[in-house]
């Protein structure tokens, strides 16, 4: 085989390998088994051509290109990924968004279940007034009769700095319960989703007859949207682990569970810092009577938008552009 024919026949393969390797490096898509096998096959073909070019066409442009492709492929395919932790920027712009997007079907399911449970809780609370006493207790029900929400105590009885820590810890524990509930074939995650939806709907149904539902809505508008999103997101990652336990499809169950647990952990770690921020908002801003309700609503929308901006990955796309 002469040099010109060698170039003509083999260059498309080199171009394909180079483009696949570049896409894998940039993390455009998480490589599936089929894509990884194809990349490995092209790598072996590049190694073969590299050896042939070194023996017959040493010092040529093709030989130098194949040497570079073989070296790049070796570095990417044979590096020990498990021993290296992503840096903070890589985690925020790549690891967390990739894991979040992989759980979007489970997040849609969790959202539908949460909404259904909230509607059910609201209807039950309206039809059964006794639920207020069972859920809130006599003291909070007495406050409602006097035209006061129990949330007003956040600005008077407990210093905001202390209540911020308590709120963040409580919200994190709910998220951890939903996340860890994946180990119970997803049943624990379903429990967290349904219970929180039912309680939220019931609380609004309880406050409605006393004319306090708008005040409650004003209180939760700053922190509520993102808080619900975070709880549903961590629960969705638990559902992903549960799905891997129950139905591993054509992969070995151990491998499927390990992969699901790795992605679920990335989701959890990406969500936890937002709970700390929400604890500050809920303790300092949500109960503040001086803050206009429209400002609280805009703040809630801004926090939700910022989280989705990070979770869906536009930051990575912008950095690449």
Q: What would the pLDDT profile of 214-256 be if each residue is shown by its tens digit?
A: 999 999 999 999 999 999 999 999 999 998 888 766 667 788 8
- Calculate what percentage of the chain has a pLDDT beyond 90: 39
186 with 275, same domain: the answer is yes
Q: Which two tokens stand for residue 19?
A: 């483009």
159 with 197, same domain: the answer is yes
Q: Is the pLDDT of residue 27 over 70?
A: no
pLDDT confidence of 79, banded at 50, 70, 90?
low
Q: Is the pLDDT of residue 162 over 80?
A: no
Residue-wise pLDDT for 181-200, tens only, equals 877 878 999 999 999 999 99
Alpha-carbon Rg for the chain, nearest whole angstrom, is: 27
Structural domain of 276? 89-320
171 with 46, same domain: the answer is no
153 with 257, same domain: the answer is yes
Residue-wise pLDDT for 87-144, tens only, equals 788 888 888 999 999 999 999 999 999 999 999 999 999 999 888 888 888 888 888 8
51 with 174, same domain: the answer is no
Nearest-10 Cα torsion for 243, 246, 252, 256: 20
> What CA–CA distance (Å, rounded) separates 15 from 293?
58
Cβ count near 20 (within 10 Å): 18
Q: Which residue has the tokens 């072996």?
A: 44
Q: Is the pLDDT of residue 321 over 50?
A: no
Mean pLDDT calculated for residue range 1-14: 86
Cβ count near 275 (within 10 Å): 23
Q: Is the pLDDT of residue 271 over 90?
A: yes
Q: Is the pLDDT of residue 178 over 80?
A: yes
75 with 115, same domain: the answer is no
Category of 98 on φ-ψ map: left (φ > 0), alpha (ψ -120 to 50) or beta: alpha
> What CA–CA distance (Å, rounded) separates 232 from 266?
15
Q: Is the pLDDT of residue 84 over 80?
A: no
Asked which of 84, 118, 150 is the last residue of a domain, the reply is 84
172 with 283, same domain: the answer is yes
Q: Which residue has the tokens 């961590």?
A: 234
Q: Is the pLDDT of residue 51 over 90?
A: no
Of 236, 241, 307, 232, nearest to 270 by C-alpha is: 307
pLDDT confidence of residue 62: 86
| 182 sits in which H/E element | none
pLDDT confidence of residue 75: 79
More confident residue, 252 or 317: 252
231 with 161, same domain: the answer is yes
pLDDT confidence of residue 133: 87
> What CA–CA distance (Å, rounded) separates 184 from 241?
9
pLDDT confidence of residue 251: 66
Q: Is the pLDDT of residue 208 over 90?
A: yes
Q: Which two tokens stand for residue 125?
A: 């609370």
Q: Is the pLDDT of residue 29 over 60?
A: no
Of 229, 244, 114, 227, nearest to 186 by C-alpha is: 244
Q: Is the pLDDT of residue 54 over 50?
A: yes
Asked which of 84, 109, 139 is the last residue of a domain, the reply is 84
Distance of CA 221 to the CA centre of its chain: 22
19 with 149, same domain: the answer is no
What mean pLDDT is reported for the chain?
A: 85
pLDDT confidence of residue 318: 44
Count of domains in the chain?
Answer: 2
Q: Within the chain, where are the H helices?
A: 3-26, 33-56, 61-78, 88-90, 96-102, 104-127, 130-145, 160-180, 187-207, 213-220, 224-246, 253-280, 293-311, 314-320
């Amino acid at each position: 085989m002469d040099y010109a024919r060698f170039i003509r026949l083999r260059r498309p393969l080199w171009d394909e390998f180079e483009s696949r390797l570049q896409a894998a490096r940039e993390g455009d898509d998480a490589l599936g088994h089929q894509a990884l096998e194809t990349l490995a096959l092209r790598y072996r073909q590049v190694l073969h051509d590299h050896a042939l070019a070194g023996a017959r066409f040493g010092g040529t442009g093709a030989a130098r290109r194949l040497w570079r492709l073989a070296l790049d492929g070796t570095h990417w395919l044979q590096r020990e990924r498990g021993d290296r932790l992503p840096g903070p920027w890589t985690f925020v712009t790549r690891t967390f968004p990739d894991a979040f997007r992989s759980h979007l079907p489970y997040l849609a399911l969790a959202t539908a279940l949460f909404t259904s449970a909230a509607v059910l809780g609201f209807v039950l609370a309206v039809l059964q007034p006794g639920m207020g006493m069972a859920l809130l207790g006599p003291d909070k029900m007495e406050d409602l009769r006097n035209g006061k929400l129990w949330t007003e105590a956040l600005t008077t009885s407990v210093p905001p700095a202390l209540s911020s820590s308590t709120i963040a810890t409580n919200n994190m524990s709910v998220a951890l319960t939903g996340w860890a509930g994946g180990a119970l074939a997803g049943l624990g995650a379903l429990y967290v989703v349904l219970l929180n939806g039912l309680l939220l709907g019931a609380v609004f149904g309880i406050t409605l007859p006393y004319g306090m539902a708008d005040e409650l809505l004003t209180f939760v508008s700053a922190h509520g949207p993102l808080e619900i999103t975070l709880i549903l997101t961590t629960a969705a990652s638990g559902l992903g682990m549960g799905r891997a336990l129950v139905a591993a499809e054509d992969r070995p169950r151990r491998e499927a569970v390990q992969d699901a647990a790795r992605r679920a952990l990335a989701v959890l770690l990406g969500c936890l810092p937002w709970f700390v921020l929400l604890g500050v908002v809920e303790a300092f801003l949500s109960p503040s009577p001086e803050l206009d309700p429209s400002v609280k609503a805009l703040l809630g929308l801004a926090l939700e938008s910022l989280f989705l901006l990070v979770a869906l990955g536009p930051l990575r796309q912008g950095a690449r552009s």
